[in-house]
Amino acid sequence: MQSVDRAISIMEILGRRGEAGVTELATEIDVHKSTAFRLLGALEARGLVEQTEERGKYRLGFAVVRLAGSVAGRMDVTQQSMPICRRLAEEIEETVNIAVLRSHYAVNLDQVRGTSAVAAHNWVGRLTPVHATSSGKVLLAHLDAARRAELLGAAGLESFTPNTVTSGEALERELTAVRERGYALAMEELEIGLNAMAAPIRSFQGEVVAAVSASGPAYRFSEERMHELAPLLVAGADEISHRLGA
């Protein structure tokens, strides 16, 4: 942990100064010059720092831009989606969420409560299983097969209700259907009494970067009603994608 802390300190110093030499960095983080050099070597191997033309001087590398871009991208999704999510919540009359992949979970970034909701879960920040949620299924369906297998291997196919899909083959068939029709359903798979549907949001590069979902009580938000309202959700997802440059 000490090495991680020191490596982060080096990056913060470079972010503040622009560039610095090994001796300067070693002095500031109070380590031997050889220790600072090893830390810089590890960061350089990951592209997080790079040497300037003047040998011995270091600056932040382009990998930092990539990492920052992933956070900015998530922020951009929530900013661009908010007015559309509000409209969808009014049109569908159920709670609308925006979710992205985080490790082997779907994490909800934002939520708009539906007009019919008397009470609603607060899903913001909650990590949810990808195989048992509509957002998770959308995000899974648009990964390449190798990445999907890796993610599911880490996540497992835990049963949350009698309706949870716990067979890999059955899940793959469902994900194929998700890609074909353009949206996913979850029928009381995470919680008894809760149904949801989700559609993909794409970046300017055409990649699926998030999912927009609508969820409500099963007695009101039935499978038939979800199929009926799905075109509204898909159109909203397409509108958000367009705002992101897709």
Amino acid at 239: E
**pLDDT tens, N- to C-terminus, the chain (246 residues):** 678 888 888 888 888 888 888 888 888 888 888 888 888 888 888 888 888 766 678 888 877 766 665 555 555 788 888 899 999 999 999 999 999 988 888 888 888 887 766 555 676 777 889 999 999 999 999 999 999 998 888 888 999 999 999 998 999 999 999 999 999 999 999 999 999 999 999 987 888 999 999 999 999 999 999 999 999 999 999 999 988 876
Residue 120 pLDDT? 57
Rounded to whole angstroms, how far apart are CA atoms 214 and 233?
8
Q: DSSP letter string over 1-55? A: -HHHHHHHHHHHHHHHHS-EEHHHHHHHHT--HHHHHHHHHHHHHTTSEEE-SST
Say whether pTM exceeds 0.75. no
pLDDT for 110: 84
Q: CA angle 183-186-190, nearest 5°?
A: 145
Which tokens sit at 21? 């030499």
Domains in the chain, please, with CATH? 2-60 (1.10.10.10), 69-243 (3.30.450.40)
Q: What is the pLDDT of residue 180?
A: 95
Instruction: Identify residue 169 by its one-letter amino acid code.
Output: E
How many CA atoms within 13 Å lie on the side-chain side of 45? 7
Partner residues linked to 128 by β-bridges? 106
The predicted pLDDT at position 242 comes to 85
Confidence (pLDDT) at 57 = 86
